[in-house]
Structure 1
Amino acid sequence: MPFDDHETAIAAAEAGAAVVRSRYGTELGRVEKTAGDFATEADIAAERAILAVLRTQRPDDAVTGEESGSSGPAGATRRWLVDPLCGTLNYAVRNPLVAVNVALRLPSGAIGAAAATDPFSGETFWTDGHTAWVRHDGADHPLHPSATSDLVDVNLDPPFPSHPALLLSEPGFTGRFRPRVLSTTLALLWVAAGRRAAYVTYGPVLDSVHFSAGIAICQAAGCTVTGIKGQPLHTGEGGLLAAADTPTHTELRTLITSAWSPTP
């Protein structure tokens, strides 16, 4: 019997995570993509495992994979967005801070289901489009955002319309929050789980295989999620500001605007 969409997302993400976990610490060949960007053999193998689940459970849907690109029926109106290993550079240097992301984009453009697995903690964060949970050892627990840690992850990877380091140097930021740089969307999941107060990235996030699952999980958990300057998501300057609550979001929005300086 076919899975529900969220169970399909969970099964696919966990299949990819099993590959990522099994290949960790081994010698891995690399496929160069652009300057400073590459995929490892683990990325490619994990994506194959994810695609095998999706093709079995949802053969009529299309897929956009980070490594394999677009596949599936040409007329499909539903599309799965797959990032088999978010944090490739971390993984390649044996830093186990990575996530495996799978999200379903509906014809409306909304994300109808999503799952993101931490291969090393064994946690899978997921949403059915309405509620948000974390599954561990077969048990599901609801996600509860909280800003009490004051920890804010800032993505420093380009491209960015204004350099994020300017936010880190803003006196009001360092006086109020404690910055972290994780370099994987695992941090976005931690906002939903109450382990981070907020997450900030200046790059594009629309239909992103890297961000779609985490955004959907944060939204379903009740986080305040907007574009980088507080505008509706996927408009204006783009980017992403996801905060555990509205007061934290308001403080960060003000600081981001104050530190804004367009890059040449």
Structure 2
Amino acid sequence: MINSSANPDDAEVAIAAARAGADVVRNLYGRRLTRIDKGAGDFATAADVEAEKTIIGVIRAARPDDAVLGEEGGRQGAADAVRQWLVDPLCGTLNYAAGNMLVAVNVALRDGAAAVADPFSGEAFFTRGESAWVRHDGVDARLAPTSATRLVDVNLDPPFPSAPGFRAVDLLAHPEFVKRFRPRVVSTTLALAWVAAGKRAAYVTDGSDLSESVHFAAGIAVCRAAGCVVTGVDGAPIGQAGRGLVVAADAETHGLLMSMIRGRS
């Protein structure tokens, strides 16, 4: 439910939609669910599909003129819609299907508000564009990135479009990485929200243009609003010509990781 006025702002819509999807994910957790094969070892579950339907329902009720791009259902809405929402109803499907609670629900308005909901902690990380917050038990707290944990989440899932120049796995064997950081492999973009919240020092993944991906858009928006350093694996701004993603709590951590990545390249 949208807990704002009769005319909620975009952030409240994003939070309500992400939380509604998170409720579906949490309620279906642990059940034997139908799997929909996507090929190459990828699949969706009935939870992905039901969560996306629920999320879109919330967005449609609040913003009927907007288009929606969902991971499972593709684009919906008017072809000439000025605004578009990006929806990843269950990021970490393989984790979820294996009985692992490390998952996220991502909802982002392109170039606007965004929310990342953790179905099991009850946290909703969100931004209106200029700052980033976490809502838990009805209380909003501003996010403050820090590299103090020294934990760096490295996504090892394929594909690897930047190989052989860049392989995320190479970081794990880099002497300076081993000296300064401790790797984690969460396999969900919930880790992006954790960088913004100070639970991770950084996040690294390969990939093609991730700036408008349903998987990454919400997390990137939250991290940027929190003041994190966000680039591609080449150190350039992410975008159509970019590759992958390096998100760090501060410039020092980002610089260290980029020196290791460039050294391997």
Category of TM-score, reference length = shorter chain: over 0.9
What is aligned with 1:34?
39
Aligned ranges for residues 89-168 of structure 1 at < 5 Å? 89-105=94-110, 111-160=111-160, 161-162=162-163, 163-168=167-172
Q: Is the 8 A contact 1:227 1:241 kept in 2?
A: yes
Partner of 2:147, secondary structure, is coil
Partner of 1:157, secondary structure, is coil
Aligned ranges for residues 1-264 of structure 1 at < 5 Å? 1-105=6-110, 111-160=111-160, 161-162=162-163, 163-204=167-208, 205-234=210-239, 236-260=241-265
Q: Percent of aligned pairs with the same residue?
A: 62
Whole-Å Cα distance in 2 between the matches of residues 235 and 198 of structure 1?
A: 22
**Residue-pair matches, total:** 255
Whole-Å Cα distance in 1 between the matches of residues 156 and 133 of structure 2?
A: 28
Q: CA deviation at 1:2?
A: 2.9
TM-score under structure 2 normalisation? 0.94
Runs of 4+ in 1 over 3 A off after TM superposition: none
Partner of 1:208, secondary structure, is coil
Q: Deviations over 1:83-133 (max 9, x none)?
A: 00000000001100000000001xxxxx21000100000000000011100
Gaps of 5+ in 2: 1-5
Whole-Å Cα distance in 2 between the matches of residues 248 and 187 of structure 1?
A: 16
TM-score under structure 1 normalisation? 0.95
Q: CA deviation at 1:206?
A: 2.7
Whole-Å Cα distance in 2 between the matches of residues 152 and 14 of structure 1?
A: 26
Letter in 2 for 1:27: R
Q: Is the 8 A contact 1:227 1:235 kept in 2?
A: no
Letter in 1 for 2:260: L
Gaps of 5+ in 1: 106-110
Whole-Å Cα distance in 2 between the matches of residues 214 and 36 of structure 1?
A: 24
Q: CA deviation at 1:74?
A: 1.2
Whole-Å Cα distance in 1 between the matches of residues 59 and 152 of structure 2?
A: 34
Whole-Å Cα distance in 1 between the matches of residues 214 and 241 of structure 2?
A: 20
Letter in 1 for 2:238: L
Whole-Å Cα distance in 1 between the matches of residues 169 and 263 of structure 2?
A: 13
Let me know the Cα RMSD of the aligned residues: 0.9
What is aligned with 2:3?
none
Whole-Å Cα distance in 1 between the matches of residues 240 and 20 of structure 2?
A: 34
